[in-house]
Amino acid sequence: MPVPLPVLAPPALDLSVVIPIYNEEANIPTLYQRLRGVIDPMGVRCEFIFINDGSRDRSLELVQALAEQHADVRFIDFSRNFGHQIAVTAGLDLSQGEAVVIIDADLQDPPELIPQLYQKLHEGYEVVYAKRRRREGESAMKLFTAKLFYRLLARITNVSIPVDTGDFRIISRKVVEALKQMPEQNKFLRGQISWIGYRQTYVEYDRAQRAGGETGYTYGKMIRLALDGITAFSDVPLKAATIMGFSVSGIAFLVLLYTLYARFIAHDYQPGWPSLMVSILFLGGVQLISVGLIGEYLARLSTNVRRRPLYIISKTNIPITLAPPAAP
């Protein structure tokens, strides 16, 4: 028996603003004020979706209080910390706007840029991302690793993921619907959005420093995000293992020829443990790296095979059944 397809009501809103929250009590009041100050004059029908990603401070209280006072404020409260990318995904899943803005809660992404993004979207683009011209107040280490990561990613992936952009952007309903069809568990939204295609463009801005509170992105989380991005969009590391294997074997073969020559023709043969040690360690290293790389892919494969829901919602004021859409 054919299952009737759900008929989606056309979105009744012009704009959804998706804001992931992790320990942002210091920023929520200012953020909300600045968002309102920017969006109210735009005269659009808008909703604000705050996703509380397992904060351990008063963030949830603040957001719930806002939701009680303003009908257009929605909140989604996760059962625990699921991570920034998943929080944004939940916001997108439950958003209704014809266009959706993704913005960080710490005011590093200036809300004042939203009208410009919105306007550009209406010039016939499906994605307008905000490209950082400068980043202020971040550690040299973060700047360096971020720069390195974006360049590396651009080199080894086959989708062109724009450099120096985070998730601050506006996307159209079309793109949101396309994202919902991508079931991967290891989310790397900027990569997925590039992969989707359509006409995409950017506006430039200077990235401010965090207004208050502390970054929720530890180096551990950053490394995981980087690996998610790389493994989801590139097979180069796997191939690199093969290439390394071939080159090491090639070198080993040359060394073998040389050894035979030294032993039987030149007769200056010395029992050499340094060369032995070096080659054993080198080979061991290459093998471990290769196995590790395979492991990274395999781990993600198994996560996706398990098909767990991406997130668990504990509370929300959005009228839905409390289950994220099941993976197809």
Q: How far apart are CA 252 and CA 255, in angstroms?
A: 5
Residues 6+ apart with CB under 8 A from 319: none
- For ligand UDP, the binding residues (CB under 6 A) are 20-22, 24, 53, 81, 83-84, 87, 104-106, 108, 215-217
DSSP per position, 4-70: PPPPPPPP-EEEEEEEEESS-TTTHHHHHHHHHHHHGGGT--EEEEEEE-S-SSSHHHHHHHHHHH-
Closest to ligand UDP by CB, 27 vs 200, is 27
Residue 125 CB, shortest distance to Mg ion, in Å, is 25
Residues 6+ apart with CB under 8 A from 101: 15, 16, 17, 18, 114, 117, 118, 169, 170
Closest to Mg ion by CB, 77 vs 106, is 106
Choose the contact partner of 24 out of Mg ion, ligand UDP, none; CB within 5 to 8 A by kind: ligand UDP
Closest to Mg ion by CB, 54 vs 216, is 216
Six-digit token string for 230? 């790389």
Residue 260 CB, shortest distance to Mg ion, in Å, is 60
Residue 183 CB, shortest distance to ligand UDP, in Å, is 21
Choose the contact partner of 187 out of Mg ion, ligand UDP, none; CB within 5 to 8 A by kind: none
Residue 22 CB, shortest distance to ligand UDP, in Å, is 3
Q: What backbone torsions phi and psi does residue 305 show, to the nearest 5 degrees? A: -70, -35
Residue 56 CB, shortest distance to Mg ion, in Å, is 17
E strand map for 200-293: 200-207
Closest to Mg ion by CB, 132 vs 187, is 132
E strand map for 264-319: 313-316
Choose the contact partner of 86 out of Mg ion, ligand UDP, none; CB within 5 to 8 A by kind: none
Residues 6+ apart with CB under 8 A from 287: none
Residue nearest to ligand UDP (CB): 216
Q: How far apart are CA 157 and CA 164, in angstroms?
A: 15
Strand order in the sheet with 313-316: 200-207, 127-135, 165-172, 97-102, 13-21, 46-52, 73-78, 313-316
Burial (CB < 10 A; 0-12, 13-18, 19+), residue 295, is exposed
Choose the contact partner of 171 out of Mg ion, ligand UDP, none; CB within 5 to 8 A by kind: none
Choose the contact partner of 22 out of ligand UDP, Mg ion, none; CB within 5 to 8 A by kind: ligand UDP
Closest to ligand UDP by CB, 87 vs 227, is 87
Closest to ligand UDP by CB, 22 vs 233, is 22
Query: Of 18-26, 106-114, 159-167, 193-201, which part binds Mg ion (CB under 5 A)?
Result: 106-114
Count residues near Mg ion (CB under 5 A).
Answer: 2
Interface with Mg ion includes 157 (CB under 5 A)? no
Interface with Mg ion includes 106 (CB under 5 A)? yes
Closest to Mg ion by CB, 106 vs 126, is 106
Residue 294 CB, shortest distance to ligand UDP, in Å, is 28
Six-digit token string for 242? 């093969």
Closest to ligand UDP by CB, 83 vs 237, is 83
Interface with Mg ion includes 167 (CB under 5 A)? no
What residues are paired with 46 via a beta bridge? 15
Q: How far apart are CA 165 and CA 128, in angstroms?
A: 11
Applying CB under 5 A, which residues contact Mg ion? 106, 108
